[in-house]
Structure 1
Amino acid sequence: MARIVCVHGVGKQQAGEHTLLREWVPALRDGMARAGATAPVADMDVAMAFYGDLFLPPGQRLAGDDPHLSWWDVSSGWETDLLMEWWGHAAATETHIVAPDTRNLLSGTSRVVQAALLAVSQSRFFAGLAEKALISDLKQTHRYLTEPELRTTARDRVRALIGPDTRVVVAHSLGSVVAYEALCAEPGHAVRSFVTLGSPLGIRNLIFDRIDPLPVRGRGSWPGPPSTLWTNVADLRDVVALAKDLRPCFGPDIACHLVPNGSQAHDATHYLTKQVTGAALALGLGLGLD
């Protein structure tokens, strides 16, 4: 079994495990090099838990186009609420984005959604992302949380790769939710280091209060034995990782770090190349650091 299991984030339905590993493996090696890891990671040491295809329409080829989506496809309630959270965070961290105000909020759901999509599309994080892709990412997260069969299948793909030799699970974006739930379902696992990158796990009401297992008295379960180390890495401007510090939700033992990812604040490879990420990987593998 792989010593490192990777779990990708949202919006990867047109990719695959091998395609993603070609991006992730060099990046995680760079991060470990920045940390001074004394031994390299072989290709066979790393596996990718791929679940993106679960979001493709039935019968559609992996190379097909995404369905056309527009503002009217954003559902009221959860999807609109998360979109508004993205808008508020983008406005708070990027001065050129106009913040939502009372006039926005009182203008009706359709106008709010259109205004939010316009504002968020101007964020550096969403720069160059088509509106339909932005909405698709929103809907994928919602579907994961509300479709039990899809949720179970995604988690099972992670669990299938975690064996007695697995020491590190590193997960990005929505994948951090999938990986967290998979690890909680395997309480006796041998994973030493759980690394979350650009994670939305700390978004109360919308994400945190819907995780499985459910939080107890406001505290989420620890994803494994007490000896499991958890490192969370976030960019201050990462719109998806709205709550940068996960300690209020999961306890004080999480090592939380802020990193600068440049104009692509949520990019997985930018997170992987960071020294703090490489150090967490090396620690889980039992490698020395220079």
Structure 2
Amino acid sequence: MRPLLAVHGIGNFEDVGTPGEASALIAERLMPRLVSGFAVAGLGHLQVPELRVAYYAHVLTRQGRQDAEETDIDRLDDDETALAVDWLTAAADAFPEWRQQGRVTLMPRQVLHWVARRSSVPAEVLARVAVAFAREVNAYLSWPARRRAARQAVADAIADVRPRVLLAHSLGSVVAYEALHAHPALSVDLLVTLGSPLGLSGAVFHALEPEPVHERGAKPPGVGRWVNLADPGDLVAVPRRLGDRFPVDHDDETTIGVVQFHTLGAYLASGMTAAAIAAYLDE
């Protein structure tokens, strides 16, 4: 049975020896969540495949570190602030009262607290996600060398593991999408995007490589089936449905919780994730 390959999202820099050691550490931490997901789906009788992780966080960090606990949104630079505002505004658009007030001009911190109050996500948790999202997505999209290095790290992992199933979470779904397009000879039978911001207007969608055509992104040539899963309360996955902008084969919602509304572990522990990949475990 071939291993599953996961592409991590934001907030996963590991200050350990090598990228390979960081990858193994994350995989070890996530494996019990994957096993739990199979049990929740009633698939506990199946052998759960080994989980590998494509690791790229080290190429996006500043001076080899990541401020994973940073919550001060006012410390973002201008580009990061613009990205945070794009994301927070898109998250706020999910609430009718925000649309009704016509997107009044607010500072990022005000929008953050507005969204936190209405989503029941603690403001500190949302701030931590906002800072990590803005810094890492900006680092990926704004620095061509880092972007190429992250994509190459994912492409190398796919070539090495040769997975039938690729699980791409958060920013990792953007890196995986671009890596698969940049390396059309790579193939996976199933791509599962989890909590993906691929459809986020302006900040992500319109910056993709290859560039969307007529407001539509393309399926990577080596992908067989594409399933997208998002928690209804996942504020990073905006919009939740990717099928409106990409040729996704199946869009669905899965509930993973309020506090862990965006973590890869929570998505792997979802029975819907296990159900999506079960048919591809026959080798």
* TM-score under structure 1 length normalisation: 0.80
Residue 218 of structure 2 corresponds to 221
Query: Which of 45, 54, 62 in structure 2 is aligned with 1:57?
Result: 62
Question: Per the alignment, in what secondary structure is the counterpart of residue 248 of structure 1?
Answer: coil
Q: Does 1:105 find its partner at 2:108?
A: no
Give the 3 Å change call, closer, same or farther, for CA 65–24 of structure 1 in structure 2. closer
Residue 133 of structure 2 corresponds to 137
Residue 198 of structure 2 corresponds to 201
CA distance in 1, matches of 2:73, 2:82: 17
Query: Which of 248, 257, 261 in structure 1 is aligned with 2:256?
Result: 261
Residue 149 of structure 2 corresponds to 153
Residue 4 of structure 1 corresponds to 4
Q: Deviations over 1:47-66 (max 9, x none)?
A: 111122233322x457x887
Residue 19 of structure 2 corresponds to none
Where does 1:48-87 land on structure 2 (aligned, <5 Å)? 48-58=53-63, 60=64, 69-71=72-74, 73=76, 75=78, 77-87=82-92
The answer to whether the 8 Å contact 1:29/1:40 transfers is no
Where does 1:237-276 land on structure 2 (aligned, <5 Å)? 237-251=233-247, 253-263=248-258, 264-276=260-272
Give the 3 Å change call, closer, same or farther, for CA 131–166 of structure 1 in structure 2. closer
Give the 3 Å change call, closer, same or farther, for CA 3–14 of structure 1 in structure 2. closer
Give the 3 Å change call, closer, same or farther, for CA 128–20 of structure 1 in structure 2. farther
Give the 3 Å change call, closer, same or farther, for CA 126–209 of structure 1 in structure 2. farther
Question: Per the alignment, in what secondary structure is the counterpart of residue 236 of structure 2?
Answer: coil
Fraction of identical pairs, as percent: 29
CA distance in 2, matches of 1:215, 1:88: 22
Residue 175 of structure 1 corresponds to 172
CA distance in 2, matches of 1:233, 1:68: 27
The answer to whether the 8 Å contact 2:195/2:237 transfers is yes
Length, aligned pairs only: 271
Question: Per the alignment, in what secondary structure is the counterpart of residue 107 of structure 2?
Answer: helix
After TM superposition, which residue ranges in structure 1, 4 or more long, deviate above 6 angstroms? 64-68
CA distance in 2, matches of 1:82, 1:7: 21
Question: Per the alignment, in what secondary structure is the counterpart of residue 93 of structure 2?
Answer: helix
- Quote the offset at 1:117 in angstroms: 2.9
- Quote the offset at 1:104 in angstroms: 7.3
Question: Per the alignment, in what secondary structure is the counterpart of residue 140 of structure 1?
Answer: helix
Residue 210 of structure 1 corresponds to 207
CA distance in 1, matches of 2:46, 2:100: 53
Residue 47 of structure 2 corresponds to 40
Residue 163 of structure 2 corresponds to 166
Question: Per the alignment, in what secondary structure is the counterpart of residue 274 of structure 2?
Answer: helix
- Quote the offset at 1:173 in angstroms: 0.8
Question: Per the alignment, in what secondary structure is the counterpart of residue 231 of structure 1?
Answer: strand
CA distance in 2, matches of 1:266, 1:194: 18
Give the 3 Å change call, closer, same or farther, for CA 37–67 of structure 1 in structure 2. closer
Is there any run of 5+ residues in structure 1 with no aligned partner, and where? 93-97
**191-200 or 145-154, which deviates more:** 145-154
- Quote the offset at 1:121 in angstroms: 4.5
The answer to whether the 8 Å contact 1:193/1:283 transfers is no
Give the 3 Å change call, closer, same or farther, for CA 200–70 of structure 1 in structure 2. closer
**79-88 or 167-176, which deviates more:** 79-88
Is there any run of 5+ residues in structure 2 with no aligned partner, and where? 16-21
Give the 3 Å change call, closer, same or farther, for CA 176–255 of structure 1 in structure 2. same
Give the 3 Å change call, closer, same or farther, for CA 3–127 of structure 1 in structure 2. same
Give the 3 Å change call, closer, same or farther, for CA 115–67 of structure 1 in structure 2. closer
- Quote the offset at 1:284 in angstroms: 2.7
Question: Per the alignment, in what secondary structure is the counterpart of residue 244 of structure 2?
Answer: helix
Query: Which of 174, 179, 188 in structure 1 is aligned with 2:185?
Result: 188
Equivalent residue letter for 1:277:
T
CA distance in 2, matches of 1:81, 1:102: 17
Q: Does 1:23 find its partner at 2:18?
A: no
